[in-house]
Amino acid sequence: MTSIYNRSLHRRSGDVSLSLFALLFAETVAYSQKHVKGVNELEERLNSLGYSVGYRMSELVMLREGKNGVRSIEILELMRDVHQNLWKALYGRSAHSLEKSRSEEDEYMIIDNNPIELTFISVPKDISQLSCAAFTAGIVEAALDGAQFPARVTAHSSGTDQFPQRTIYLVKFEPQVVEREASK
């Protein structure tokens, strides 16, 4: 019997139905919400769910999109990989912009104007600081950890009139990463 495991890892599988993904993700959030106290814990939980996806995903993306086994060893290079290749593998397009924080040496921002996982989600007013994109933040965190660039990634919604679901993924690298970069 041939199953998904018999297929070549290099072959890209087809797209997943958006409705199916949205329903599954909605149920994931609703289920997680029943088992936590408060917004921070919920984001934490979504982050850790994303982390286990990202850990597997980053390896696969590396294999498929990788430059003949050459790793990215600079922060900016790695962030570009995440912003383009990882995003493309997950959501079929790259994120909208990648910025470096002006005030903090160790902070980078990936900005998505309409994150696909939030397409159908409206957060109630009483927990408006919640961003369900914490899931994607977890994926990014795992990808960076896996590349030996440990970081903390959080998602913050910053909706505009034109893009109400606009989200900023804030990446804060551990001090040793910045130190290593400076000593190169």
Partner 1 sequence: MAILSLYILNKSGGLVYQRDFTEKLNKLSANDYLVLAGTFHGIHVIASKISPVSHSSGIKSIDSSTFSLHCLQTPTGIKFLLVTDPGQSNAHLLLSKIYQLYADYVMKNPFHQLEMPIRSDQFNRQLTIYASST
Interacting residues toward partner 1 by CB under 8 A: 19, 22-23, 25-30, 33, 119-124, 132, 164
Q: Kindly state the smallest distance separating residue 132's Cβ from partner 1, in Å.
A: 7
Of 12 and 31, CB closest to partner 1: 31
Q: Kindly state the smallest distance separating residue 166's Cβ from partner 1, in Å.
A: 13
Of 28 and 94, CB closest to partner 1: 28
Q: Kindly state the smallest distance separating residue 78's Cβ from partner 1, in Å.
A: 32
Is there a contact between 151 and 141 (Cβ–Cβ < 8 Å)?
yes
Per DSSP (E only), the strands in 75-178 are: 97-100, 107-112, 151-157, 167-173
Of 15 and 161, CB closest to partner 1: 161
Q: Which of 99, 106, 75 is nearest to 158 (CA)?
A: 99
Of 9 and 23, CB closest to partner 1: 23
Q: Kindly state the smallest distance separating residue 175's Cβ from partner 1, in Å.
A: 36
> How many other CB atoms are there within 10 angstroms of residue 45's CB atom?
20
- Taking the C-alpha atoms of residue 21 and residue 180, their distance in angstroms, rounded to an integer, is 39
Sheet holding 97-100, edge to edge: 97-100, 107-112, 167-173, 151-157
